[in-house]
């Protein structure tokens, strides 16, 4: 399920409610006076559990943010390399230039309109991949005649390869989410941290309920960050195809200028 503010708010409310319900049940079994006699033991143990969980959660969130940043950089590089192919095609004969530029536009359009919505479901577009294959074949099969055209082709080919490499890395990012086992470990750690708050007997039960609720909310907020950054192509926090949309604006403007120049 995509990480959205609504689902995160609902998740937080459920977890806080369960935490407070557990505290009420615990207080029916153990009185505050009995719990106070165990503070000397519960306090250092709760610090150890809380610290270990905080370190675990911090590493997971940091790793997820790094993967999110890598996915965004990869997408930007893919679009930038596609723009290089489009621009360098200017040095080729008109027929070859127009075919390559049309393929660049087709690829960008299919990525934005077809493939990007599919990424949220961890799927890719065969149409977008086909457009890239056609673009790569067109650039690789071109036979330069002049030295200038040869130089252009030698510059275009690395850019085309870069588009393909970045595309593969972007697709691979769909499968780099946290393993279910790690989510299980994280859930157990969060539950243990909340459970340890039950072993302290505050004189005012309402104040203890408030403290337990705050601890639960903070844990839920960090888990929301982890879920949000764990999947870079869905949810409220995601990588958008802005770079490809910018490419399309530039490509169409350049094609329009070329057509006007030919008409004159």
How confident is the model at residue 42, as a pLDDT? 63
Cβ neighbours of residue 175 under 8 Å, at least 6 residues apart?
122
126-159 pLDDT, tens digit each: 999 999 999 999 999 988 888 988 998 899 999 9
Q: What are the CA-CA distances from residue 185 to residues 19, 132, 151 (Å)?
A: 18, 41, 55
The structural domains of the chain, with segments of one domain joined by +, span: 5-263
218-249 pLDDT, tens digit each: 999 889 889 889 989 988 889 999 999 999 99
64-91 pLDDT, tens digit each: 999 999 999 999 999 999 999 999 999 8
The model's pTM: 0.83
DSSP 32: H
Distance, CA of 74 to CA of 163 (rounded, Å): 10
Phi-psi region of 179 (alpha: psi -120 to 50; beta: other; left: phi over 0): beta
């Amino acid at each position: 399920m995509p990480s959205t503010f609504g689902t995160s708010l609902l998740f937080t409310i459920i977890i806080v409610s369960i935490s407070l319900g557990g505290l009420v049940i615990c207080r029916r079994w153990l009185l505050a006076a009995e719990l106070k006699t165990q503070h000397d033991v519960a306090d250092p143990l709760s610090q150890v559990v809380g610290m270990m969980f905080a370190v675990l959660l911090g590493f997971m969130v940091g790793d997820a943010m790094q993967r999110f940043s890598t996915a965004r950089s990869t997408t930007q590089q893919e679009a930038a390399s596609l723009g290089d192919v489009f621009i360098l095609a200017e040095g080729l004969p008109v027929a070859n230039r127009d075919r390559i530029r049309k393929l660049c536009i087709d690829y960008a359009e299919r990525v934005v309109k077809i493939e990007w919505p599919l990424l949220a479901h961890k799927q890719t577009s065969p149409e977008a991949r086909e457009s890239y294959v056609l673009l790569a074949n067109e650039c690789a099969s071109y036979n330069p005649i002049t030295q200038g055209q040869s130089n252009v082709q030698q510059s275009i080919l690395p850019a085309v390869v870069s588009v393909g490499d970045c595309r593969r890395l972007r697709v691979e990012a769909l499968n780099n989410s946290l393993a279910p086992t790690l989510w299980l470990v994280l859930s157990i750690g969060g539950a243990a941290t909340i459970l340890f708050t039950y072993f302290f007997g505050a004189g005012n039960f309402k104040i203890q309920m408030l403290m337990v609720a705050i601890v639960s909310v903070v844990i839920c907020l960090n888990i929301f960050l982890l879920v949000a950054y764990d999947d870079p192509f869905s949810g409220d926090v995601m990588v958008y195809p802005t770079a490809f949309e910018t490419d399309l604006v530039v490509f169409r403007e350049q094609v329009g200028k070329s057509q006007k120049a030919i008409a004159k």
